[in-house]
Amino acid sequence: EIVLTQSPGTLSLSPGERAILSCRASQSVSSNYLAWYQQKGGQAPRLLIYGASSRAAGIPDRFSGGGSGTDFTLTISRLEPEDFAVYYCQHYGRAQYTFGQGTKLEIK
Amino acid sequence: EVQLVQSGAEVKKPGESLRISCKGSGYPFTSYWINWVRQMPGKGLEWMGRIDPSDSQSNYSPSFQGHVTVSVDKSISTAYLRWGSLKASDTAIYYCARVRYSSDSSFIYWGQGTLVSVSS
């Protein structure tokens, strides 16, 4: 079973700053099967990135995904007030899915 | 417009059975797998299992295998998640989610969530 470890657990930044969130897999995974989600309090998660680097429909271009193998990143180039939320990475493949434990992005 | 609409909040006692639902609309229901995701209070997302509405083929996370059952009624475009015997630790929000495409299994559409509370 692939384990995804996200870091940091909490990231404190100010609007306008750049955020870099990390997701490390316990074994190499195909980039085709790595996704990122945003979840705000009391809401269902929202797909941001699929295939490690492709933005889902309607997602602003300040969100970008990258990485390969075991190390993946979600970058938010310039934080907007609405970006402060919890972010999860997810691996999907071989009929099993795994989520990371999440990174909370909070306002500094 | 694609929508997944889940059934309402439930309050149950340990040992009781429960089935919650997820109704899809705005797309061909049998063309996309439906997944179920648990979120315990204040915790992260956990994938539970999935079902192919076209033939009811299903897969489960080892963590949930044997404790829950996923099913569908394609005549009414509805997927279900069922417990035979609830535990207090089943208290959580449960989401259904549809994959983006058959060739890409990220979760593009989500239901609003169903809160299940289990307490004696």
Return per-residue pLDDT of chain B as tens, 120 residues: 999 999 999 999 999 999 999 999 999 999 999 999 999 999 999 999 999 999 999 999 999 999 999 999 999 999 999 999 999 999 999 999 999 987 788 999 999 999 999 999
- How far does the CA of residue B59 sit from the closest CA of chain A (Å)? 6
Buried b (16+ CB within 10 A) or exposed e, B62-78: eebeeebbbebeeeebb
CB B20 within 8 A of CB B6: yes
**B30 reaches A (C-beta below 8 A):** no
SS3 category, A45: coil
**B105 reaches A (C-beta below 8 A):** yes
Nearest to B113 by CA among B93, B97, B84, B98: B93
Q: Are the Cβ atoms of A50 and B106 closer than 8 angstroms?
A: yes
Q: CA-to-CA distance for B25 and B45, rounded, in angstroms?
A: 24
